[in-house]
Amino acid sequence: MREVLEMWKYSRMIASFVLAAAVYAVVLWVFAPLWIIPGVTGIRIANILPPVFSLLFGPAAAWGIAVGNLIGYDILGGALTIGSIGGFIGNFLLGYMPYKIWHRMFREPPHCRTLSSVLKFEFVTLIHAAVCAHVISLWCEAVGFVPYTPLAFIIFTNDFLAPAIAGPILMALLYDRVRRAGWLWTDVMKGYEYLPTTVKKRWVIGTILVTIGSVIGLVATIGVGLGLGQPLFFGPGLKFIGTPLVATGLVFLIIWIIGVALLE
């Protein structure tokens, strides 16, 4: 987590931040969504970018995606609300999760030129989409903005499908160039490991907790929202779904937070 604040001491990281934010906002605008259910959910092409930026620019991508979304979507799109706070945090995590897991867990670079590299890329993409969907939707439900269940579904499809399909293509084109040009975040911020020399045990546990907190948490909370899990979690007696939903979501959020803390 330290790198997230420390990055602002490097002007090249500030440039990476501007690059990530501006390109994200621009791509958000120039590509119309590809609708899956017209008007409700579609694939935003811009969502190819967060895992790619994250693995290249590290913390600058986390800030960049968060601010790019805030400016490109909320501010210039005229949708600045209390929901934007959740949006900011959720998008921040889109840019935070992939590099964080990668630089603790995987000793192969994310060049996406081998099957194993691609699979790892898909794994961090799955996590980042689940975390983002869970956090934003939980926030929106909690502040009485939009219900959790449909929103979580929409955000997850949005953040997972496009990068899962096209992320590896983009990564294979970009990784070597960015590295050669000296823009990888660990090339700018000396003292951080791009790939771990040894994978510590607590990082493995952290990753497992993060996976549970995000992927399983998302599925479980959606289930509660649909009324499925209620007998399981809260017994048959409870009628209300609002508060149990937030409670379920929070439990998994805490698991996830412990996981992230262990990744330090």
Partner 1 sequence: MKFVLYVDANSPIHRLDPRTKLYWVLCVFIWSMTFNHPLYTAAILGIVLATLLMSRAIKGVKFATIPLTILIAMCIVLWPLFRREGTTVLLSLGPLNIYYESLLYAVAVGFRLTAMVLAGLTLLVTTRIEELEAALVKLKLPYPIAFGVSAVFRFIPTLMGDAHMVIAAQRARGVDPLRGSLVTKIKNSALIVAPIFMTSMRRLSTLPLAMESRGYTPTAKRTYLIQLKMRPVDYIYIALSTALTATFIYMRLNGIGVIYPHYI
Partner 2 sequence: MSTLIELDDVWVRYRMARDYALRGISLKIREGDVVGIIGPTGAGKSTLAKVMCGIVPNLEPCDEFRGYVSVCGLDTREVPVGIICRRCAMVFQDYEAQLFRTSVELEVAFGPENLGLEPSEIERRVKWALELTGLVGLERRYTYALSGGQKQRLAIASVLSLQPDVLVLDEATSDLDPRGKLELFQVIKKLIEARIIKAAVIIDHHLDKLAQLANRIVVLKNGEVIDEGTPREVLTKVELLKSLKLEPPQVTELFHRLGHTRDKLPLTIDEALEHTKNLRARKPERTEVSKVDKVLSLRDIWFYYVPSEWVLKGINLDVYRGECLGIIGQNGSGKTTLANIIMGILKPIKGRVTLLDQDVTEKGPTARIGIIGYVLQNPDYQIFNRTVYEELAFAPKHMNLPPDEVDRRVKHVAKLVGIEHLLDEDPFFLSKADRQRVAVASVLTMYPKILLLDEPTTGLTPGETRDLMDLVMKLNRELGMTVIVITHDMNVVARYCTRVVLMKSGEIVIDTDTRTLFKNIELLRQNYIEPPQIIEYTVRALGEPYLTVDELIQHLER
Binding site for partner 2 (CB under 8 A): 12, 18, 172-173, 176-177, 180, 182, 187
Site string for partner 1, 106-145 (x = CB under 8 A): ------------------------------------xxxx
Rounded to 5°, the CA angle 155-156-160 comes to 120
- Does residue 23 interact with partner 1 by CB under 8 A? yes
162: partner contacted, choices partner 2, partner 1, none (Cβ within 5-8 A by kind): partner 1
Stated length of the chain: 264
Residues 181-220 that bind partner 1 (CB under 8 A): 181, 183
What whole-number distance in Å separates Cα of residue 114 and Cα of residue 190?
27
Among 70, 76, 72, smallest CA distance to 92 is for 70
CA distance 237 to 226: 16
Hey, how many other C-beta atoms are within 10 angstroms of the C-beta on 115? 8
**HEC sequence for 106-167:** CCCCCCCCCHHHHHHHHHHHHHHHHHHHHHHHHHHHHCCCCCHHHHHHHHHHHHHHHHHHHH
Interface with partner 1 includes 68 (CB under 8 A)? yes
| Interacting residue with partner 1 among 173, 208, 216, 257 (CB under 8 A) | 173
Q: How many helices (H) and strands (E) does the chain have?
A: 12, 2
Nearer to partner 1, 199 or 219 (CB): 219
Residue selected from 119, 202, 231, 242 as contacting partner 1 according to rule CB under 8 A: 242
Sole window of 90-98, 127-135, 212-220, 237-245 interacting with partner 1 (rule: CB under 8 A): 237-245
* Distance from C-alpha of 227 to C-alpha of 208, rounded to nearest angstrom: 27
3-class DSSP state of 101: helix
Closer to partner 1 by Cβ: residue 172 or 204: 172
DSSP, collapsed to helix, strand or coil, labels residue 33 as coil
For residue 16, how many C-alpha atoms fall within 13 Å in the half-sphere facing its CB? 31
Total residues contacting partner 1 by CB under 8 A comes to 67
* Least separation in angstroms between CB 207 and partner 2: 31
Among 2, 3, 10, 132, binds partner 1 (CB under 8 A): 10
Of the pair 140, 253, the CB lying nearest partner 1 is at 140
Footprint of partner 1 on this chain (CB under 8 A)? 8-12, 14-15, 17-19, 21-23, 25-27, 29-31, 34, 39, 43, 45, 48-49, 63, 67-68, 71-72, 74-82, 84, 142-150, 161-162, 165-166, 169-170, 173-174, 177-178, 181, 183, 225, 239-243
